[in-house]
Structure 1
């Protein structure tokens, strides 16, 4: 624990505190190396193209009609698309100006900054009160709501001033400082009242706290005030870390690891530089385990184990990963390229800036780590083997059904064959108002029916903390089989008629046969003599059905399921959905229906994965 006495002392004693806050030492040499580096070529081209487009085309409008749509019908994308496009224009124009210090014409950038300062609220409609009654009873006015995106906007503007110090019109600099003071610093720091996210144990506390904290380090000259502000941010960071168990697993998935822990690291490193190393938030075994998470869940690039609201594709921010490796020596996931400017549709400022400043090219193109990775507190397990044809991997999860960005998915699993994930997790759906309210589990992506788990007597798994799994066994058998057994009885509602449900996974990769095997054993005890069970298996590949077998075939690998045709009738279902970005997503769900299941029953499914 870092005490306020230590925070204050370190802030007050810091010398030349702003000279190298981003770790920039010889600026001209750094710019030249960035310009000449082959791994930055594509990103620099994108920055230039987007900056030219921003100078040529007018910024998109943020209309009242689009602003009001979230309250009126619960949709977000109509307002958020132009909102984030504005942030992308700022990022490109600011970076292009920093990369080319000889550039004199900064009108487009300054107009972009001025336009952002004119926005009604930097917070998104989804994070504001839905009604005028709610607005009237709010502790702060709508321009003073400090949410994820208000915080990120403040930081982006503050860092733009820092990177272009002495080059922007003093009126623009004054306006930015005035707006950040009015919208962010006063409502957050000039009152003992807190925003709810300050005690949140998910990504909000790190993102909001980290972004606001960096803006303060960049802008606030009063050291006594800055000490108090920094102490409050550090307390929010403590709340964020409480959301992680000691095993370091991010239950929200690698995308949210990148988001929450990324901002934690960005703030931690700026604070470290500001205080000349006196305040170091990147210490301890738990931090090292959190930093190792992406390497554990990495599959064949760009694929990852993606339980919860996480995309199965993720491109690591090479700057963030490089800095963690440098500071902590942690393993890195496979990184094939520096992310595109457009990889993050929100255009978050620190990701791209740190990719340029911190990326270690020697860490690119390293293969994903192999072996068994266990997270005992969160009850995740991942096992990876590199066989002929590529990487083969299995992942499964226990836990409970009230996790951050929860899906009702206890006992769900992923199967990766020769570089392709063929038994899948659907990840996040389209975020709407109802997605985070009572209707959350009507969405396929979040519901039990969208995961490779069964329906019991017509009932799916239920949400809430009381519905949990218990790990019964986790071991590597003498024949190198990984055995992972879960008691899933508690995952289902009490009126399901279920007395006991045990799911056991047996997984092995066989180099001599150039294939991997997963056996899933399900054992049930029921209260009634006759029951119904429907086993679901989820894929993004069309299943090929034959009597007693099903095959999912990709471009480089395939998985074949063998089951008892006397027990089950098979049905392949096609469900049209939308991914998180509102793009069409075709889901293939295999339904194996067992009728008239007796009071005690058990069966096995054998999955054989091989390269094509």
Structure 2
């Protein structure tokens, strides 16, 4: 898509030179810095002041080895990311105040980070040719956070070069030296990084645009050799084409809404860099697929910060407000732009803060704050969604509001990126409040991405809203997938049906299991979950699992009531003649899960009373 149209002999004429390319004002160009709203300037000045005379935390070899010894990723990552967040806060504070009092702390931060032997994280050591608890400094790999770090240092160079040079020319020279050695040279010289997509057997995911966006930025701002710079742009385009090519025409992200920020959102970062450095001549925003990739995020939007989460995604997602708004404006979609404005208005100054301090997102969020805040778009609460490529449907009672019932369901297969064994999964919200949920994922550890992944309970189908048959759960693998998937939507209802039998291994003894998820809007709104199955032989060992954040109120007449703290209530009706009903509390010790659901969630289990080799039943969910 990109390389076919732009990677040719005319490309050099399209690109602004390194000196001409001025995406944002430096500290010396004061007008736009002065126009940032005062409350936003105050917010960032306070963040900078909190780091004044900063004692930069040390990072030791044994802290790095903590991952190989214990499997814990978080302790080292927090140390590394905190350094970068603190540096970003100091840079922005200095650019806003322009008095020089943050400069020594900035120089110390730059020197600290440049002294790190490896800018990445221990969890990505597997990319190195030699597998060791410590990084091989002779093997300069490019992974997510080495590329992020390079971009942060390059922005430091770009924004503050005149002030840094006035103190010591060695600071910017050190930045240039380290970025060339760690990023620019290996990017041009190596094709074996899996995320680039140049090895045919490899599928790519969010790493592709995320790494490419930061590498491209480093080349555009730092590389003064025109031929090398142009070669990097060509390689970025070829690599991005590999990522774009994997998308179905619906633009759906199988990694979920949380990863859209680093998949579709990072692709947008790349397209903006290419658009800007070419004065708008490299432009694929009117391509239908690019537009659909942008729209995906509001198609999974439920309300406030809740999104329809599957796989490793969290139910609560803080999307980059300004990026979302700008993506919407680029493709002419008022719902997408409106979602960005809605998020900014909810988060206010906090909307400019990022977990990873990407200046290419932070700077426009400062300079465009008033524009985004005052935009009047369209409601992103869309009524019906069907993403046929990733087989995800969503439906709510009415367009433009979170009031009433909402349901999302998925088919797909059990080898998706960041996969959970969850073919046939569904979630239910009421007035924008979660009732039947997908728990999400715990904090990443060494187990998360390797052979022990499916020993983690959040990955297993028994902790999703799915049946367990003959004690057997779904299995991982692309062959374990939904079959005969059908979506139907009318004004009165929306429905998704599929055969989930192949999601289970042969030991489950399932011939077919048709699961249908339907939102009925008229005459009385309700959600119906229908299961119609045939087994190889009769069994009484069938359990329907339902996950909820609320303590279920169960009676013996076939009713379960779920109620949140704001008194949103739903009733689940089941056949009490066929099922016994019980629930268990699952204490949440993991910080990621506790931040979303609190101290515990609950698993409701409907267990068959008698043996069946075939049956059909329906769960009905109504708002009370």
> Do they superpose with TM above 0.5?
yes
CA–CA distance in structure 1, aligned partners of residues 175 and 478 of structure 2: 44
CA–CA distance in structure 1, aligned partners of residues 480 and 591 of structure 2: 26
1:323-362 mapped onto 2 (5 Å cutoff): 323-330=326-333, 331-332=335-336, 333=339, 334-335=342-343, 336-338=346-348, 340=350, 344-359=354-369, 360-362=372-374
Q: State the partner residue of 1:443.
A: 456
Q: State the partner residue of 1:48.
A: 45
Name the SS of the counterpart of 2:380 in structure 1.
coil
Q: State the partner residue of 2:154.
A: 158
1:295 aligns with 2:291: no
1:537 aligns with 2:549: no
Q: State the partner residue of 2:89.
A: 92
* Bigger mean CA offset, 248-257 vs 361-370: 361-370
Name the SS of the counterpart of 1:324 in structure 2.
helix
Name the SS of the counterpart of 2:459 in structure 1.
coil
8 Å contact from structure 1 (residues 419, 556) kept in 2: no
Shift of 1:396: 0.3
Change over 3 Å in CA distance of 1:364–1:110 after alignment to 2: farther
Listed one character per residue, the Cα deviations across residues 369-408 of structure 1 (whole Å, up to 9, x for unaligned) are: 2310110111000112349982531100000000000011
Shift of 1:428: 1.9
Q: State the partner residue of 2:36.
A: 34
Q: State the partner residue of 1:571.
A: 582
CA–CA distance in structure 2, aligned partners of residues 376 and 347 of structure 1: 34
Q: State the partner residue of 1:82.
A: 79
Shift of 1:15: 4.2
Name the SS of the counterpart of 2:585 in structure 1.
strand
Change over 3 Å in CA distance of 1:142–1:50 after alignment to 2: farther
2:216 to 213, 229, 233: 213
Q: State the partner residue of 1:520.
A: 529
Change over 3 Å in CA distance of 1:216–1:66 after alignment to 2: same
Q: State the partner residue of 2:200.
A: none
Name the SS of the counterpart of 1:168 in structure 2.
helix
Name the SS of the counterpart of 2:347 in structure 1.
coil
1:159-558 mapped onto 2 (5 Å cutoff): 159-169=155-165, 170-189=169-188, 191-199=189-197, 200-330=203-333, 331-332=335-336, 333=339, 334-335=342-343, 336-338=346-348, 340=350, 344-359=354-369, 360-363=372-375, 367-386=379-398, 390-477=403-490, 480-510=492-522, 516-547=525-556, 548-554=558-564, 555-558=566-569
1:63 aligns with 2:60: yes
Name the SS of the counterpart of 2:381 in structure 1.
coil
CA–CA distance in structure 1, aligned partners of residues 19 and 548 of structure 2: 51
CA–CA distance in structure 1, aligned partners of residues 423 and 476 of structure 2: 10
Shift of 1:45: 3.9
1:590 aligns with 2:604: yes
Change over 3 Å in CA distance of 1:556–1:250 after alignment to 2: farther
1:14 aligns with 2:15: yes
Shift of 1:172: 0.7
Listed one character per residue, the Cα deviations across residues 296-345 of structure 1 (whole Å, up to 9, x for unaligned) are: 11111111111111111122212211211221012223423346279643
Which runs of 5 or more structure 2 residues have no equivalent in the other structure? Answer: 198-202
Name the SS of the counterpart of 1:560 in structure 2.
strand
8 Å contact from structure 1 (residues 542, 588) kept in 2: yes
Aligned residues: CA RMSD: 2.6
Change over 3 Å in CA distance of 1:23–1:108 after alignment to 2: closer
Name the SS of the counterpart of 2:299 in structure 1.
helix
CA–CA distance in structure 2, aligned partners of residues 451 and 142 of structure 1: 44
Listed one character per residue, the Cα deviations across residues 226-250 of structure 1 (whole Å, up to 9, x for unaligned) are: 1111111112211222332211011
* Bigger mean CA offset, 113-122 vs 385-394: 385-394
Name the SS of the counterpart of 1:128 in structure 2.
helix
Shift of 1:35: 2.8
Shift of 1:218: 0.7
Listed one character per residue, the Cα deviations across residues 121-155 of structure 1 (whole Å, up to 9, x for unaligned) are: 001011114999525999x7466121100000001
CA–CA distance in structure 2, aligned partners of residues 155 and 269 of structure 1: 15
CA–CA distance in structure 2, aligned partners of residues 105 and 562 of structure 1: 62
CA–CA distance in structure 2, aligned partners of residues 141 and 345 of structure 1: 26
8 Å contact from structure 2 (residues 212, 236) kept in 1: yes
CA–CA distance in structure 2, aligned partners of residues 131 and 27 of structure 1: 42
CA–CA distance in structure 2, aligned partners of residues 11 and 132 of structure 1: 35
Shift of 1:171: 1.1
Name the SS of the counterpart of 1:268 in structure 2.
helix
Listed one character per residue, the Cα deviations across residues 260-288 of structure 1 (whole Å, up to 9, x for unaligned) are: 22222222212211122222243411000
Name the SS of the counterpart of 2:220 in structure 1.
helix
* Bigger mean CA offset, 333-342 vs 565-574: 333-342
Shift of 1:410: 0.8
Shift of 1:20: 5.2
CA–CA distance in structure 2, aligned partners of residues 579 and 136 of structure 1: 25
Shift of 1:117: 0.3
CA–CA distance in structure 1, aligned partners of residues 195 and 36 of structure 2: 37
CA–CA distance in structure 2, aligned partners of residues 585 and 123 of structure 1: 32
Which runs of 5 or more structure 1 residues have no equivalent in the other structure? Answer: none
Shift of 1:366: 5.9
Provide TM-score, normalisation by structure 2: 0.90
8 Å contact from structure 2 (residues 129, 139) kept in 1: no
Listed one character per residue, the Cα deviations across residues 491-548 of structure 1 (whole Å, up to 9, x for unaligned) are: 11111110010011221235x86xx310111011011133421000011111111121
Shift of 1:94: 1.0
Aligned residues: 599
* Bigger mean CA offset, 358-367 vs 267-276: 358-367
CA–CA distance in structure 2, aligned partners of residues 266 and 131 of structure 1: 27
CA–CA distance in structure 2, aligned partners of residues 282 and 142 of structure 1: 40
Provide TM-score, normalisation by structure 1: 0.92
Name the SS of the counterpart of 1:165 in structure 2.
helix
8 Å contact from structure 2 (residues 148, 211) kept in 1: yes
CA–CA distance in structure 2, aligned partners of residues 99 and 224 of structure 1: 35
1:602 to 616, 619, 624: 616
